[in-house]
Amino acid sequence: MNNLAKPNNNWDAALYEDKHAFVWQYGEDLLQLLNPKPGEQILDLGCGTGQLTEKIALAGAEVIGIDYAPTMIEKARQNYPHLRFDVGDARNFQLEQPLDAVFSNATLHWVKEADAAIASVHQALKSGGRFVAEFGGKGNVQAIAQALYTTLKTLNIPAPVMNPWYFPSIGEYATLLEQQGFDVVYAILFNRPTPLVDKETGLANWLEMFASAFFIGMSSQQQIQVIRMIEEYLRPTFYQDGTWTADYRRIRIVAIKL
């Protein structure tokens, strides 16, 4: 762990639950790919506030949720006190029992050290166990990211040294999986334009929740100015009938441990 960069673990769990329920609502689809069965041991990796962990449990599986952010784990425990949630890092977690499956929704694009995460997942699974994940894929939020970088450049504000997101292609991620002993049996990259529920403030709230790395060190006034400029830049294409849409592009994979 010591040579791994420290990712943001300061997620605002209340804001996440209040304004971004779409994340796990879209993720419910992924549960069909997981197809959890009664008695299976399953890990929900990057479980957030636990909504999908609970769905896996409802299918009769024995599920554990792990998340890097103590704030998210605290909320998950409050939401579902009958389930087990632990603070842990996708890049180096270990569990007592080998698992039938590792499930992960909307988390792995925050994990730039994909190799380390894949190694941990591999080590946690039984032979024949499955890894079922969805996250941002190549081209995800490209227009939003471009607007962010253009705005920062226009205002002469330095962009973060490290972009916080990892959006791989199928080729890239499948190769990493194969190199570490997985058989990739399913992979898809697809556009999923995602309406942001908060009407006029939808994009601003999205930026506040998911692009906070870009605002570190800015005064609140500067932050407001940046957000306004991004909105003006994107409004003609991504704001229609009073709703913002984010240009999501997702990658889904199912890989089996050989």
Ligand X SMILES: C[S@@+](CC[C@H](N)C(=O)[O-])C[C@H]1O[C@@H](n2cnc3c(N)ncnc32)[C@H](O)[C@@H]1O
Binding mask 109-138 for ligand X (x = CB under 6 A): -xx---------------------------
Q: Please identify, among the stretches 46-54, 197-205, 215-223, 227-235, the one whose residues bind ligand X according to the rule CB under 6 A.
A: 46-54
Residue with tokens 């609140």: 220
CB-hemisphere CA count at 13 Å for 165?
20
Residue of closest CB approach to ligand X? 48
Stretch that binds ligand X, among 54-62, 88-96, 179-187, 245-253 (CB under 6 A): 88-96
Residue type at 227 in one-letter notation: I
∠ Cα 240 169 9 (to 5°): 75
User: Number of residues in contact with ligand X, rule: CB under 6 A?
Assistant: 22
Closest distance to ligand X from the beta carbon of 206 (Å):
11
Distances (CA, A) of 115 to 97, 102, 111, 170, 243: 22, 16, 9, 15, 37
Cα separations in angstroms, 8 against 34, 80, 207, 213, 253: 28, 24, 15, 8, 25
For the chain, the 3-state helix, strand and coil shares in percent, each to the nearest 5, are 45, 25, 35
7 binds ligand X, rule: CB under 6 A: yes
Tokens representing 179 are: 């190199």
Considering beta carbons, is residue 160 or 171 the nearer one to ligand X?
160
* 53/35 Cα distance (integer angstroms): 13
- Residue 68 or 206: the one with the smaller Cβ distance to ligand X is 68
Closer Cβ to ligand X, 28 or 183, answer by number: 28
234 binds ligand X (CB under 6 A): no
Is residue 164 within the footprint of ligand X (CB under 6 A)?
A: no
Residue 73 makes contact with ligand X by CB under 6 A = no
Count other C-beta atoms under 10 Å from residue 211's C-beta: 19
Instruction: Kindly provide the b/e burial profile for residues 8-41, where b requires at least 16 CB atoms within 10 angstroms of the residue's own CB.
Output: eeebbbeebbebbeebbebbeebbebbebeeebb
Single out the residue of 56, 68, 100, 152 in contact with ligand X (rule: CB under 6 A): 68
* Closest CB 110 distance from ligand X, rounded Å: 4
Position 246 contacts ligand X (CB under 6 A): no
Short-list 138, 147, 215, 127, CA closest to 170: 138
User: Binders of ligand X among 174-213, rule CB under 6 A?
Assistant: none
Task: Determine, following the binding rule CB under 6 A, whether residue 91 of this chain makes contact with ligand X.
Answer: yes
* Shortest reach from residue 1's CB to ligand X, in Å: 10
Which residues here bind ligand X, judged by CB under 6 A?
Answer: 7, 11, 23-24, 27, 46-48, 51-52, 67-69, 72, 89-91, 105-107, 110-111
